[in-house]
Structure 1
Amino acid sequence: MKSNYIRYIIFATIVVAGFSSCKQEDFLDRFPKDKINEQIYFKSEVDLKLYANQFYTALPVEFSNNDNNSDNMIPGNRNTFLSGIYVVPASGGGWDWGNIRSCNFFLKRYEKSEIPEAAKQKYAAEVRFFRALFYWQKVIQFGAVPILEQDLTENSPELFASQNTHKEVMDFVLKDLDFAVANLTEPSAENRLNKYAALALKARICLWEGTFRKYHGLADEHVFLQATADAAQTIINSNLYGLYSTGNPGQDYRNLFIQDDLSKNKEAILSRIYISNINTTNYTRAISAGNTGYSKDFVRSYLCKDGLPPALSPLYAGDDTPENEVKDRDPRYTQTIATPGYVMTQNPDGTQDKISIPRVGTSATTTGYQVIKGRSSDPAQSNANQETIDRFIFRYAEVLLNYAEAKAELGQLDQTVVDVSINKLRARAGMPNMVLANLVADPNTIFPGVSLPLQEIRRERRVELAGDGFRFNDLLRWKAGKLIERPETILGMKLTPAYKTNYPSSQVSGIALNADGYIRVYSNITNRLWYDKMYLYPLPIDQLTLNGNLKQNPGW
């Protein structure tokens, strides 16, 4: 409950304040107050807990406008990396090792604490969880990086170390994840890391690594893919988690992401808690004028209600109007994208601001496919920086998707696996089951090189996790960066001359359209370009200068 979290914050604040209280020691014997005094710190459980707390802000919170760097969404301002105009930075660029150093500092000192061994190892597990997360993020960005297990100083010889290989680093990450799973405890009301959060991170990271190894030709993918399946299976078998559903497929998906309290929601393996006047966000207000929108390429991923893709379904009514395009489609469409009838604001007096037509030509949407996932219609949540809606960090739905994909990649997919994973998600959405024996090829698939089951699992992943920040990493691991070049990834809705008459001419006169009438978000290009060097970011120039043993990534 949020009240428990408030009590925890107050307790932590009191303890921190206590560290700053006056003592009677001689002035010259005092240690600097902006640094940890190793002679008196790392003694109690409170010491270990408070040290670990610093990493919690780095947990990946799932806001639903996090796909601007992919083929799912199109921000008004072009992404420099995906536009092919990113240059090698002089400094910075993500080559920051502060968090990893802080993890190592703890891991070299926590053993001297005077607490029971299980408690001691629990906090070590928390820190190793975070070190695994930080190292994985480094590998995603840079590939090969140095493995550092010491907290370095300016005189440490490791400062001049060369990079370990991608595979060496990820094998190191897996060891940290296994330690975290083995030593973290069952979930509690305190909303700290627990063994199932560690399993969820393990499933996420190992799926990324296993598929990266497979599609980039690194080999040895089986260990990581099996680790994904096993971790996900453990979470499923725990029976502690499930999909949120009230039996209303027309509302459940939307309502899942606008809950003020996720502490009792079985889909939340771990969530970020937001509390009025303590810890709040600005998401609803920001996304209402977010200058972004889903792409035509993304929207074409939605199946029709008969379970068939638009290219094959007799239910598909075309896209000449937004009303036709959404007709008889997966119910998650209208719970993710603002379509005619969506209530933007529900005022306490009963009045409403309701969408009648997509708000193109405004900051609400670049494409006509306005993002509403995770957006509240409660005006109180639109007050500047006052939103208190809880957000997912690890969601059970992702675990099911990871499980299905890993089993498919391992050649272990059968109908039983599909029924406990993909079909659970489809049932919540009110969509027909995926039946392996009845799958038909989508002539417009964007993944013709993989099996039909994998095509549909990837489709389900794209729809269920829309906007949550997974898509770019998915494209990287599948070696599918070339999808960024598809023209549909920077096109919006069709704006026919007839539909234009619904708008004031001043609102739509400046909107660029292609020859087929689709909105061109970037009027000066018709598609983006992907170069294979973009599977990794470049190291900054200053680090290559300071350490001659570092090698720049290929192509940069």
Structure 2
Amino acid sequence: MINKIRTSVFVVCAAGCLASCSDQMDYNEYNIFDKDYITQNFKNVGGFMTDIYNTVDYDFGNYSSGAMQASATDESEYSILGNAIEDFYNGAWSPTNAKSSVWTNMYKGISTCNHVIHELQGLSFDELKLNSDYAAQLHRYENYKYESRFMRAYFYFCLVRQYGDVPLVTQQITAEEANSISQTSADDIFKFIMDECADIQSLIIEDYSNLGELSTGTEETGRADQLAVLALKARAALYWASPLFNPNGDKERYRTAALYTKELLDAAQKRGKDLTAKYADLWAAESFNTPGIMKEILYGRRYYKNSSGDNMVETNNYPVGIEGGAGGNCPTQNLVDAYDMLNGKSIGEAGSEYDEKNPYQNRDPRLAATVAVNGDQWPTYSGAAKIETFHGGVNGEPLTGATPTGYYLKKLCNGAISLASNSKFTASRHTWLTFRMGEFYLNYAEAVFKYLGDANAVTVEFPMSACAAASMTRKRAGMPAFEEGMDAATFWTKLCNERFVELAFEGHRFWDVRRWKEADKYFKNIVEMKLTKETDGSITYTRKNVSRQWDDKMYFFPIPQTELIKNKNLKQNSGW
């Protein structure tokens, strides 16, 4: 059940110490050494931290051979038929086809964290004592245990949101113990996560980019710091308060979530954090070292194969019809419809001025930053043509892999990359945004609204209203703030829609709809847009509804059958 490293044998990355912000965190050469060898060398111990950071999840199309988890939701549809992402909605999902990578990887990461926490403490590293930066390096080492405790808590968050009750392991255990341990309730897992974060938030390094005389000379902004800890605590509290984990509707859980989120926002703002000026910049190649962009990022998972970067997200999602394009994760009409008009009204609202013949005019600017529509120059590199997503177009059906929805994905991609064989710019760095300020303004809005029951209510405890918090991301995009005075049902609809738009393709939709227990509303039908070019050159837009399967057992993943066979004390999730 649990990937273990026994106390007598250690696995360490041969490449050495944990990567900084300018280094890659993907190593794949391993050597086996005993504990005495590992603990005598600072770089060897750092290799364990590299392994831990490499376990942090991200989804640039690596979830299922090019498909993002978004394509198992109403955000997108994967254009290449037969991809395993379809199992989520075609009935092929089961305990023997359990999508168990998170179970495997998170427990591997937890095992490594437990080793750092319990086996690699109290070291002094004689080989560094004569170095001028010895104090700085030792300070870095002493923070490993807090980073490991944070990461262990994060890995448990990934497990509990996916499975509910899971085994809780905080010590080194034998193979026999691993295969006989029982599950801990989801409530207790959430409490463990929040308690761990509360315990280490004042102990972990506050800001790796500002270590003063303890700096090692490199701003290691890719490492987890105090704000990452506060962010995990706040997000876990919101999930714990949500209907999937809070069937009795305990409002005090929402109060806890609101308090933790306010604590994060206050601490972040004190450090100069806030929303970056331009939404699309968050996924720019240099986001990790550009101050105006970094101010929104609380923690990001760096991904690049070498010093020049990588092009996985572009290879997976560039339009069919250009060299190297695969089609990939194509935004749905459901998502496109979610973007309001520039006047702040939804497309179906009276006075919106929505024009069905020119459906992309005067829309929320985040639409153009996220979705490539017919007629866009996409990608954006010099010489790229305007895409044609209509039937028979250069990038449209019936080409194999062409978009079935009428759209291609822009967000997360670097449009300056050319996949052409003669291109000189074929890769760049990418950062998966695990935690960012935009999410937490929306999280605060949700928690305060659910606790106070009124979108405009404020208290001494919560001086910012849900409506004001939910408007932050809209105003950044150049959209009007939400109108005050909305009734509760209207505000909840607007808030859910704002999350859909602001956080599209960032890994939230799959989990938001589940924790809200609203999959019947959102996941049973997607809409494709079929474009036809008429003889006069005009485009006709025709909606096509596509049904998908949903069963309430799918709110949680099945425990992998292989784990149930190995450990008779594990219980399968209901319905599987």
TM-score normalised over the length of structure 1: 0.79
Matched, 1:304 2:341: yes
Give unpaired runs (5+ residues) of structure 1: 18-32, 246-251, 441-449, 509-515, 521-525
Q: SS of 1:315's equivalent?
A: coil
Task: Map 1:264-303; keep pairs closer than 5 Å.
Answer: 264=290, 265=293, 266-273=295-302, 277-278=306-307, 279-288=309-318, 289-303=326-340
CA-CA distance at 1:294 after TM superposition: 1.5
Q: SS of 1:81's equivalent?
A: helix
Q: Aligned partner of 2:264: which letter?
A: A
Structure 2 CA distance for partners of 1:372 and 1:382, relative to 1, 3 Å: farther
Partner of 1:429: 477
Partner of 1:20: none
Partner of 2:32: 35
Q: Aligned partner of 2:76: which letter?
A: M
Distance, in Å, in 2 between the alignment partners of 1:500 and 1:531 is 46
Cα deviation code 1:273-318 (max 9, x no counterpart):
4568335242123211333312222222111111111222423334
With a CA cutoff of 8 Å and minimum separation of 6, indicate the structure with the bigger relative contact order.
1
Matched, 1:331 2:365: yes
Partner of 2:175: 154
Structure 2 CA distance for partners of 1:225 and 1:232, relative to 1, 3 Å: same
Partner of 2:185: 165
CA-CA distance at 1:261 after TM superposition: 4.2
Structure 2 CA distance for partners of 1:467 and 1:275, relative to 1, 3 Å: closer
Partner of 2:90: 83
Distance, in Å, in 1 between the alignment partners of 2:361 and 2:122 is 64
CA-CA distance at 1:414 after TM superposition: 3.5
Matched, 1:129 2:150: yes
Partner of 1:248: none
Q: Aligned partner of 1:210: which letter?
A: A
Q: Aligned partner of 1:205: which letter?
A: A
Moved more, 94-103 or 166-175: 94-103
Equivalent residue pairs, number: 496
Q: SS of 1:462's equivalent?
A: helix
Q: 1:72 touches 1:466 (CA, 8 Å); kept in 2?
A: yes
Distance, in Å, in 2 between the alignment partners of 1:93 and 1:499 is 50
Q: 1:91 touches 1:543 (CA, 8 Å); kept in 2?
A: no
Q: CA RMSD in A?
A: 3.5
Partner of 2:354: 317
4+ residue stretches of structure 1 with deviation over 6 A? 4-8, 10-13, 115-118, 381-385, 499-503
Structure 2 CA distance for partners of 1:171 and 1:275, relative to 1, 3 Å: closer
Q: Aligned partner of 2:361: which letter?
A: K
Q: 2:21 touches 2:220 (CA, 8 Å); kept in 1?
A: no
Q: 1:285 touches 1:382 (CA, 8 Å); kept in 2?
A: no
CA-CA distance at 1:425 after TM superposition: 1.6
Q: 1:302 touches 1:463 (CA, 8 Å); kept in 2?
A: yes
Structure 2 CA distance for partners of 1:343 and 1:306, relative to 1, 3 Å: same
Structure 2 CA distance for partners of 1:61 and 1:541, relative to 1, 3 Å: closer
Partner of 2:120: 110
Distance, in Å, in 1 between the alignment partners of 2:236 and 2:513 is 14
Task: Map 1:434-513; keep pairs closer than 5 Å.
Answer: 434-437=482-485, 439=486, 451-487=489-525, 489=526, 491-495=527-531, 498=534
Q: 2:531 touches 2:542 (CA, 8 Å); kept in 1?
A: yes
Q: 2:24 touches 2:303 (CA, 8 Å); kept in 1?
A: no
Matched, 1:360 2:396: yes
Moved more, 187-196 or 356-365: 356-365
Q: Aligned partner of 1:169: which letter?
A: I
Matched, 1:544 2:564: yes
Structure 2 CA distance for partners of 1:12 and 1:183, relative to 1, 3 Å: farther
Distance, in Å, in 1 between the alignment partners of 2:158 and 2:25 is 32
Percentage of pairs with the same residue: 23
Q: SS of 1:82's equivalent?
A: helix
Q: Aligned partner of 1:325: which letter?
A: P
Give unpaired runs (5+ residues) of structure 2: 1-17, 62-67, 126-134, 210-218, 319-325, 458-463
Cα deviation code 1:75-133 (max 9, x no counterpart):
23462122233122178834422222221122212333238896555211111111111
Moved more, 232-241 or 181-190: 232-241
CA-CA distance at 1:554 after TM superposition: 0.8
Q: 1:303 touches 1:310 (CA, 8 Å); kept in 2?
A: yes
* Equivalent position to 1:195, from 226, 229, 246: 226
Partner of 1:258: 284
Q: SS of 2:167's equivalent?
A: coil
Q: 1:422 touches 1:457 (CA, 8 Å); kept in 2?
A: yes
Partner of 2:75: 72
CA-CA distance at 1:535 after TM superposition: 1.0
Q: 2:147 touches 2:204 (CA, 8 Å); kept in 1?
A: yes
Q: 2:254 touches 2:447 (CA, 8 Å); kept in 1?
A: no
Q: 1:339 touches 1:357 (CA, 8 Å); kept in 2?
A: yes
Distance, in Å, in 2 between the alignment partners of 1:158 and 1:218 is 34
Distance, in Å, in 2 between the alignment partners of 1:110 and 1:549 is 31
Partner of 1:401: 442
Structure 2 CA distance for partners of 1:410 and 1:347, relative to 1, 3 Å: closer
Q: 2:240 touches 2:246 (CA, 8 Å); kept in 1?
A: no
CA-CA distance at 1:542 after TM superposition: 2.9
